[in-house]
Amino acid sequence: MTTKQLFAANALLPTGWARDVLVAWDGAGRITHVAADSAAPAGTPVAPGPLIPGMPNLHSHAFQRAFAGLTEYRAQSQDSFWSWRNLMYRFAARITPESLESIATWLYIEMLEAGYTSVCEFHYVHHSPDGTPYADDATLSLALLRAAQRAGIGITLLPVLYQTSGFGAKPPRADQARFIRSTDSMLSLLERLATATQALGANLGLAPHSLRAVPPDSLTAAVQGLTALNPQAPIHIHIAEQTQEVEDCIAWSGQRPVQWLLDHAPVDKRWCLVHATHMTPQEYADAAATGAVAGICPTTEANLGDGIFDMPLWLQHGGRWGVGSDSHACVNAAEELLMLEYGQRLSLRQRNVLATAAQPEVATAMTLQAVQGGSQASGRAIGGLAVGQQADMVALDAQHVALAGLPAHSMLSAHVFGSHRTSAIASLWVAGAQRVAQGRHVLHDSAAQAFVAARSMTIAAG
Ligand code: ZN
């Protein structure tokens, strides 16, 4: 197998910052060698600035990228997540296989240019607008896989099980028809997609949408079916995003959603609890103890007015976490970290809340933890610059005005907290293949054009 290598004067390894690091990987893109205090062998490419691990994006609804910016106006006396959702459903009704592929291709390119090297796609629009399955039932899933392949981003595809409109098996609404599947139909889809994902080096899991959308029997059967297919496959669920959802769950079962889930499902390291925003201190302790990852989407949670996740409490219990761009109001790995830390600062009136004793630079501590959690939630070996992990790497631009002349250990902090919505990312590699050079993806212009056309068409179809 061909080996490739890269030298970086400063690199963020799982143990922290190291100097003069040589990274080598094999033809499959797996890291075979990482050594600090090395000399660069003649002819070895040199990173243009600090080398950091690529960030896994653990929560994405790709089609919503084309919807960003369209709901930032007041439509009723008090707008909420639920009024936003009505508008989003109207938009979802107009997505076609072609438009989804164009939107997702551009989105994944944006992700790469913004420091994400892989994505967990929580995919719930399955059928044609009236709810009839496409001739090939996997049409929209395959459109997403093609988009990921074209962009060159790693992907964990999570087809979504959606069956009811509310707790107590409330029948679905007409505008949810595109999402609805029986458990058997979901398991057939997963079988169909197992080969396609494997061929691409992608991973396949399952996303029971939420407790309001999946009745208990279906949840049990779907998780069992998935486990029979692959005992390691990841499982993601939206869990306690809205206080209304918590109240409805209590009215239905006498329990809060996280409490109910932990009592009724085999939650463990395979699980990612997305938007576990509204938990009691006991739920924080119990959920962290399962080893599940908390999927936090700071900019979307801010955009939708969800609430603030209690990071210090989660970390106190050893909780694992990662970040997602979810609705794509923002697609920028650094900005998710910034928003997460700022939410904690605002609510606690403290600074550097997420720094640790081992990593006092808050951006360093957050990056290492979010990469670990994101890797676990993706079910892929993308956990950082270490032997055996995939060579998913980002080189910052040491000449960018936000970074130039700073001490190396402050450059990541400047990238996260001081780059003022510009990007200090120079290069990015996925499985050792360079996808971004001088800040741009090779398909940037053509994919942007196709995205704008697809978005205009989707808006005009309304
Ligand atoms: Zn979501």
Coil, helix or strand for 400? Answer: coil
Cα angle 34, 434, 369 (rounded to 5 degrees) comes to 55
CA 60–ligand 1 middle distance (angstroms): 7
Work out the average pLDDT over 153-164. 98
* Known active-site residue 326: yes
Work out the average pLDDT over 160-175. 96
pLDDT band with cut points at 50, 70 and 90 for residue 229? very high
Q: Is the pLDDT of residue 454 over 60?
A: yes
Same domain flag for 90 and 207: yes
CA 295–ligand 1 middle distance (angstroms): 10
Cα angle 202, 163, 245 (rounded to 5 degrees) comes to 95
Same domain flag for 124 and 167: yes
Same domain flag for 193 and 261: yes
Same domain flag for 39 and 168: no
Q: Which residues contact 73 (CB under 8 A, 6 or more apart)?
A: none
- Percentage of the chain beyond pLDDT 90 is 93
Coil, helix or strand for 442? Answer: coil
Among candidate residues 47, 64, 142, 41, the one with its CA nearest the CA of residue 426:
47
Is the residue at 432 inside a domain? yes
The owner of tokens 């106006």 is 73
| Average pLDDT value for the chain | 96
- Give the phi and the psi of residue 50 in degrees, each rounded to 5: -55, 140
Same domain flag for 328 and 418: no
Pairing relation of β-strands 293-296 and 51-53? Answer: unpaired
Is the residue at 458 inside a domain? no
Work out the average pLDDT over 330-344. 98
59, 275, 278, 328: the active-site residue: 275
CA 187–ligand 1 middle distance (angstroms): 21
- The confidence score (pLDDT) of residue 153 equals 98
Coil, helix or strand for 441? Answer: strand
- Tell me the sheet residues that pair with 155: 119
What is the per-residue pLDDT across 237-270, written as a single tens digit (0 to 9) for each? 999 989 999 999 999 999 999 999 999 999 999 9
DSSP at 187: H
Same domain flag for 324 and 431: no
CA 203–ligand 1 middle distance (angstroms): 19
Is the residue at 385 inside a domain? no
Question: Cα dist. 95→67, 151, 199, 361, 457 in Å?
Answer: 11, 20, 26, 43, 9
Pairing relation of β-strands 433-437 and 425-430? Answer: antiparallel
CATH number at residue 402: 2.30.40.10
- Is 213 buried (19+), middle (13-18) or exposed (0-12) by CB count in 10 A? buried
Is the residue at 330 inside a domain? yes
Cβ atoms of 307 and 347 within 8 Å: the answer is: no
Cβ atoms of 336 and 417 within 8 Å: the answer is: no
Q: Which spans in 7-80 are helix H? A: none
- The confidence score (pLDDT) of residue 221 equals 98
CA 225–ligand 1 middle distance (angstroms): 23
For residues 242, 248, 254, 258, the Cα torsion angle rounded to the nearest 10 degrees is -30
Q: Is the pLDDT of residue 69 over 60?
A: yes
Q: Which domain holds residue 142?
A: 55-378
Q: Which residues contact 90 (CB under 8 A, 6 or more apart)?
A: 175, 462
Cβ atoms of 197 and 146 within 8 Å: the answer is: no
CA 263–ligand 1 middle distance (angstroms): 23
Same domain flag for 18 and 33: yes
pLDDT band with cut points at 50, 70 and 90 for residue 1? low
306, 326, 392, 397: the active-site residue: 326
- Percentage of the chain beyond pLDDT 70 is 100
What is the per-residue pLDDT across 7-24, written as a single tens digit (0 to 9) for each? 999 999 999 999 999 999
pLDDT band with cut points at 50, 70 and 90 for residue 73? confident
DSSP characters over 275-305: T--S--HHHHHHHHHTTPEEEE-HHHHHHTT
CA 269–ligand 1 middle distance (angstroms): 19
Is the residue at 387 inside a domain? no
* Known active-site residue 127: no
Same domain flag for 191 and 336: yes
Same domain flag for 32 and 88: no
Is the residue at 237 inside a domain? yes
Same domain flag for 105 and 15: no
- The confidence score (pLDDT) of residue 20 equals 98
CA 411–ligand 1 middle distance (angstroms): 31
CA 238–ligand 1 middle distance (angstroms): 6
Work out the average pLDDT over 216-226. 98
Query: How is residue 181 written in tokens?
Result: 């599947």
Work out the average pLDDT over 191-218. 96
pLDDT band with cut points at 50, 70 and 90 for residue 82? confident
pLDDT band with cut points at 50, 70 and 90 for residue 104? very high
- Does the pTM surpass 0.85? The reply is yes
Buried b (16+ CB within 10 A) or exposed e, 406-419: eebbbbbbbbbbbb
CA 327–ligand 1 middle distance (angstroms): 7
Question: Total domain count for the chain?
Answer: 2
Which of 378, 410, 426 is the C-terminal boundary of a domain? 378
Same domain flag for 329 and 415: no
Same domain flag for 34 and 59: no
The owner of tokens 């009691």 is 280
- Give the phi and the psi of residue 361 in degrees, each rounded to 5: -75, 115
pLDDT band with cut points at 50, 70 and 90 for residue 142? very high
Higher pLDDT, 462 or 434: 434
CA 47–ligand 1 middle distance (angstroms): 35
Among candidate residues 238, 236, 239, the one with its CA nearest the CA of residue 257:
239
